[in-house]
Structure 1
Amino acid sequence: MHSEPVGRRNRPTRRAVLGTVAGVATAGVAGGYVWNRHGKDSDDVGGGAGGAGGANSRPGSRSYERLSDPGRTVVRGADGDTLATFTDGARTAVLAGPSRTFSEPRTTDASVTTNAWVRVLPHAWQEGMEKSAWFKAWFTKTLADKGPDVFAAAFEYSSAGAPDKHNSAGVRYAGTAHFGPRNQSVDSPLDFAYHDEQSDFYDYLGIPWTFSDGTRAQPEQARYGDVDCSGFQRLVWGYRMGLPLHNTNTKGAGLPRRAFAIAAYGPGRMVIPHTNTQPTELDVLQPGDLVFFAIIKNRPNFIDHCGMYMGLDDKGRHRFYSSRSAANGPTLGDLSGHSLLDGTDFYARGFRAARRL
């Protein structure tokens, strides 16, 4: 049932912080301890900013192991350390790399330090794909890649303050995101509905978008720079990482629009099914999994919020990252509800399911 922590064990701590941008401290580590998902110490692959180097990265020293629940292929180095995990039916890949610390002092004193780098495979994983030519080339290149992964891209929209980035066409594709326009019917800024929903990724970008079925969506000027919870996941996984998107809440190729539809019909596979109760067995989760919540008081089992699982924080708690109204944008913080899956706080009580894209 357990997913695999990445990295080596039982090495002295040595951490060199390279920089902090928008509340995200990025650390290059040579043998530094970090929390893995199981609350044990696990140190990192490779040395410094160079990442997952050394003998473990040589193709000839790798081995492949099949595990179940869910079915997956685990890649190990010569010393048995986990280099990567690929889950059957999913395009999410978790690879070992330099340790990074994600923090948001504005809203929480907790932080998440991880050596998991979340990438997107060009194809949904199937047993035996490690033998294919495309995979061997892709894996060697990607294991050494220190360009933005899913986590790095997601934090380029942090409500704590992320710098603007523009593409060659002048479109601002990254920078601080907000949740949505002010909801005039709600008085308290700490209310989860203080800012309005319905802002999708193209609203944030401020550009029209044509979906694969030919439908065309127009951004609302009043929502420029805004993205709600599911729109944020579509912005990161779809616009930035290239997963297909569609513009309905029904079955289709790629990510549908709203949280309940992503949970029910999204690509990949469910790793925690929706059973109308708060899950308590969380070992199956791995970084990058989408987590889903029912937080409307009079609809206790209707999925209406989603986030991205990050792993254990520095207090050993299961923390997630999502675009939320009270924080007015993407947050891993604790403003108007702790960003935790375990325990009895607001979001933990509403936690219902998880999907690996």
Structure 2
Amino acid sequence: MARRRALWVVVVAVAILAAGLTVWLSRDDPAHIAVDVPDPAALSYDRADNPPRTIVRDGTGAVVAVLTDDARTAVVNGPRRTFSEPKSTSATVDTSAWVRLLPRPWRAGAETDEWFREWFTPTRTDTRPDVLATAMEYVIDAPEEKDAAGVRFRGDASFGPVKPSGSGRQEQSDFYDYLGIDWKFPDAPDGEPETGRYGSVDCSGYVRLIFGYRLGLPLLGSNEEGDGLPRRAYAIADVGPGVELVPDGGTRATDYGALQPGDLVFFEVEDDPDTLDHVGVYLGVDDGGHHRFVSSRERINGPTMGDVGGASLLDGGGFYSTAWRSARRL
């Protein structure tokens, strides 16, 4: 019986390899099988403007992916899924967009490069957490998980500790505060977490947690231009990597058509009208037809796609929609 069972395992393994199946292992998720797809050379690659980008289509003409010049953010069409946060909003976002990071910034014609072929073929069927799913792993009641070193890398996050005055919560909680670990930056002193900020991320710290720590985009410790994601929202908007989609004109932005899921959206919500002081991640159009984002906020004490202390919308006449100023694709 044991020999039969072993033979059966070998037969199944050979069948899997013959079918072109790939087993993915990740610290974040249990193993799953992703089915390989046809060679990228069999697809068509069309060019579009504003911003310059490559539209990947299959044989039926359906869009498979969107790759933006000078950006690492790629939107790949995949299985539909729904994002929700019932404790803060009745709205949901149903989408087939899976937001992935390319190994390097995209350039026109890179579809013929070996690095792209090696990345794109398995990525088309990869169902591990992408930018959007990772962002939702820190909202209200999100389950926590620790890695092999005992570091809690996901789970319900707060915004920051209560201010000494008792009025509101403190900013300046970065991703390493949430994690409770030291971090070495290439351009600034090492980041050292504060005990009282454990489990907390402010708005830009949240973006850095998602794109940097979780998904591998280089991180800077300063607000200067460099090879990585700066610390503050205004610096990410001004000198961050990628492509500026909606320039800050000092007034409310309304260029919704420029956005795709995973883009960063920036707001002016505090005292200085010349400084962009809040950042979120665009999720897409919700079930009410509105443009919804997720960000870490003081009023609800942490990341949310909800409507506590202001609806998480770019359109309409609410607090955040009227404060939206700019957008960037990393």
TM-score category by the smaller chain? 0.7 to 0.9
Q: Which has the higher helix share?
A: 2
- Residue 177 of structure 1 aligns with which residue? 157
Identify the match of residue 129 of structure 1 among 98, 105, 110: 110
Q: Which amino acid aligns with 1:303?
A: L
User: How far 1:104 moved relative to its partner?
Assistant: 0.9
Answer yes or no: is the 8 Å Cα contact 2:186–2:221 preserved in 1: no
Identify the match of residue 64 of structure 1 among 26, 39, 45: 45
TM-score by length of 1: 0.81
In 2, the alpha carbon distance for the partners of 1:204 and 1:338 equals 25
Answer yes or no: is the 8 Å Cα contact 1:51–1:97 preserved in 2: no
Identify the match of residue 226 of structure 2 among 252, 260, 267: 252
Answer yes or no: is the 8 Å Cα contact 1:51–1:98 preserved in 2: no
In 1, the alpha carbon distance for the partners of 2:88 and 2:34 equals 30
In 2, the alpha carbon distance for the partners of 1:263 and 1:250 equals 11
SS at match of 1:204: helix
> Quick check: 1:279 aligned with 2:253?
yes
**Long gaps (5+) in structure 1:** 1-48, 188-193
For structure 1, which segment, 145-154 or 79-88, has the greater mean C-alpha deviation from structure 2 after superposition? 145-154
> Quick check: 1:354 aligned with 2:323?
no
In 1, the alpha carbon distance for the partners of 2:41 and 2:161 equals 54
User: How far 1:135 moved relative to its partner?
Assistant: 0.6
In 2, the alpha carbon distance for the partners of 1:278 and 1:118 equals 26
CA RMSD of aligned residues (A): 1.7
Answer yes or no: is the 8 Å Cα contact 1:199–1:231 preserved in 2: yes
- Residue 120 of structure 1 aligns with which residue? 101
> Quick check: 1:167 aligned with 2:147?
yes
- Residue 276 of structure 2 aligns with which residue? 303
> Quick check: 1:74 aligned with 2:52?
no
Q: Deviations over 1:148-180 (max 9, x none)?
A: 11111111111x111111111111111111000
In 2, the alpha carbon distance for the partners of 1:53 and 1:83 equals 14
Identify the match of residue 233 of structure 1 among 207, 210, 214: 207
| Bigger-Rg structure (1/2) | 2
User: How far 1:279 moved relative to its partner?
Assistant: 1.2
Identify the match of residue 332 of structure 1 among 291, 296, 305: 305
In 1, the alpha carbon distance for the partners of 2:227 and 2:44 equals 33
Answer yes or no: is the 8 Å Cα contact 2:223–2:231 preserved in 1: yes
In 1, the alpha carbon distance for the partners of 2:71 and 2:231 equals 19
In 2, the alpha carbon distance for the partners of 1:207 and 1:301 equals 34
Identify the match of residue 85 of structure 2 among 104, 120, 138: 104
Number of matched residues? 299
Answer yes or no: is the 8 Å Cα contact 1:230–1:258 preserved in 2: yes
**Long gaps (5+) in structure 2:** 1-31
CA shift in 2, pair 1:52/1:281, >3 Å? farther
User: How far 1:52 moved relative to its partner?
Assistant: 8.8
Answer yes or no: is the 8 Å Cα contact 2:204–2:278 preserved in 1: yes
User: How far 1:58 moved relative to its partner?
Assistant: 5.3
TM-score by length of 2: 0.87
- Residue 243 of structure 2 aligns with which residue? 269
The equivalences for 1:10-49 within 5 A come to none
